[in-house]
Chains A and B, each alone.
Chain A
Amino acid sequence: QKEVEQNSGPLSVPEGAIASLNCTYSDRGSQSFFWYRQYSGKSPELIMSIYSNGDKEDGRFTAQLNKASQYVSLLIRDSQPSDSATYLCAVNKSGNTGKLIFGQGTTLQVKP
């Protein structure tokens, strides 16, 4: 079992729709969770962090965390073609706050 799992996609949504990206993790003691965006040929950049169960909203982005189910998600409202990228879920290992483990990423395609 991979430590952080994501569906590689591609996930294709029409412009203006809600894109839902999902991630599961195996380390039940993990406390910190992150979403990074990586455009093709570029390096990843942090877009959201979440530490507590529930929802965290930032503009068109909402991160959701359910520690009991070991599940993290990212919702993108009013998806734009410029949101087309690979979204990487990352988790801090419990007991080792410096080690950030990434999933393989989900490729999102937003079609005009």
Chain B
Amino acid sequence: GAGVSQSPSNKVTEKGKDVELRCDPISGHTALYWYRQSLGQGLEFLIYFQGNSAPDKSGLPSDRFSAERTGGSVSTLTIQRTQQEDSAVYLCASSPDPNTGELFFGEGSRLTVL
């Protein structure tokens, strides 16, 4: 009965480098979400997957951001050519049924771009 697992928990990188953030959802959860939370702010929707497909990518801030999900399980969020404004906590959540609105969140990946 493990929860949503995210890695790395902390990542410090230099401006211009690429980073990959990983999310391992709760087993059997078909829906997977990525949100971003800047200091003192709410959750900014990035993308959500139903199975392996992404019905809504509208929240991705720019073409430097991409995400994929394989095998209906693990998801990777990739940020290319990182900028300082990308610094935030990236939260992944999964849900057994997106209609319920019940999301189970991981502990997040804190990204700091120097």
Contacts and interface: CB of A to CB of B under 8 A. Distances in A.
A-B complex is real: yes
Contacts of B35: 102
B43 interface: yes
Interface stretch (B17-25, B65-73, B102-110): B102-110
B55 interface: yes
Interface in B91-114: 91, 98-103, 105-108
Contacts of A45: 105
Residue picked from B100, B106, B108, most chain A C-beta under 10 Å: B100
Interface in A71-112: 88, 90, 92, 96-105
Interface string A28-59: 00001110000000111110010000000000
B102 A44 contact: no
B40 to A, nearest CB: 8
Interface residues on B, range: 20 to 34
State which size class the interface on A falls in.
Answer: 20 to 34
A102 B45 contact: yes
B45 A101 contact: yes
B39 to A, nearest CB: 12
Contacts of B42: 6, 88, 102-105
The 6 residue pairs across chains A and B that have the minimum distance between CB atoms? A104-B42, A98-B98, A43-B105, A102-B43, A34-B101, A105-B42
Interface of B: 31, 33, 35, 41-45, 48, 50, 55-56, 91, 98-103, 105-108
20 contacts: A6-B42, A32-B101, A42-B107, A43-B91, A45-B105, A46-B102, A46-B103, A96-B55, A96-B56, A99-B48, A100-B33, A100-B98, A100-B101, A100-B103, A102-B35, A102-B44, A102-B45, A104-B41, A104-B42, A105-B42
Given A44-B105, A88-B43, A99-B55, 6 more contacts: A42-B107, A88-B42, A98-B50, A98-B55, A98-B99, A100-B48
